[in-house]
Structure 1
Amino acid sequence: MVGRPDEIEPDKWLRSVFASRDARCGGVFKRQVRDVERIVGRAAFLAEVERRGWQALENGRHFIVCCNAQPIRRVRGGNSPARAGE
């Protein structure tokens, strides 16, 4: 596992992510799992999502955070499986 760069402070990074415009407005943001794990750690990131009453999804290489407590519903077009690039 690659270490965290010296110039990135975990607390500052976490505050900036959760202070983004999308987060403040109840929107959605995504971050790469490897960056979250490298900079602040999965547990700290998900604890902050939980503390705010928000929801996080993990899909492939990304965490997707819904910055509200609204229900999440999986939707697809047609009868085909959802696949990128099709």
Structure 2
Amino acid sequence: MTRNYLPYTQDGWIAHLFNSQAARDGGVIRRQARDVERYVGRDAFLAEMRRRGFSVLENAGQFIIICNQEPVRRLL
């Protein structure tokens, strides 16, 4: 019998995400969109990023999270 085991709760996954060195230093991290949707859900994820004041980009099935509140400029 196969079980759909998720190793994190929604809050646990968010905590794990922001426990990385890059996130703590205000850097950039990325995650697969399918993982975000599986563990947290797109709406809850974006609400948490908005609450933190972080920018999020989506490209090729990845979320790029800028873990600071500085403005983002697209150069090309």
Question: 2:52 aligned with 1:56, yes or no?
Answer: no
Aligned residue number for residue 10 of structure 1: 10
Gaps of 5+ in 2: none
Aligned residue number for residue 19 of structure 2: 19
User: Whose helix fraction is larger, Structure 1's or Structure 2's?
Assistant: 2
- Amino acid in structure 1 at the alignment position of 2:46: L
Where does 1:1-86 land on structure 2 (aligned, <5 Å)?
Answer: 5-76=5-76
1:64 Cα deviation after fit: 0.3
The list of structure 1 runs, each at least 4 consecutive aligned residues, that deviate by more than 6 angstroms after superposition, is none
1:47 Cα deviation after fit: 1.0
In 2, the alpha carbon distance for the partners of 1:7 and 1:25 equals 25
Q: TM-score, normalised by structure 1?
A: 0.76
Q: Which has the larger radius of gyration?
A: 1
Which secondary structure state, in structure 2, belongs to the residue aligned with residue 58 of structure 1?
Answer: strand
Are the structure 2 counterparts of residues 68 and 6 from structure 1 closer, same or farther at C-alpha, using a change threshold of 3 Å? closer
In 1, the alpha carbon distance for the partners of 2:69 and 2:6 equals 34
CA deviation vs aligned residue, 1:57-81 (integer Å, no higher than 9, x gap): 11111000001111111224xxxxx
1:5 Cα deviation after fit: 2.5
Identity of aligned residues (%): 51
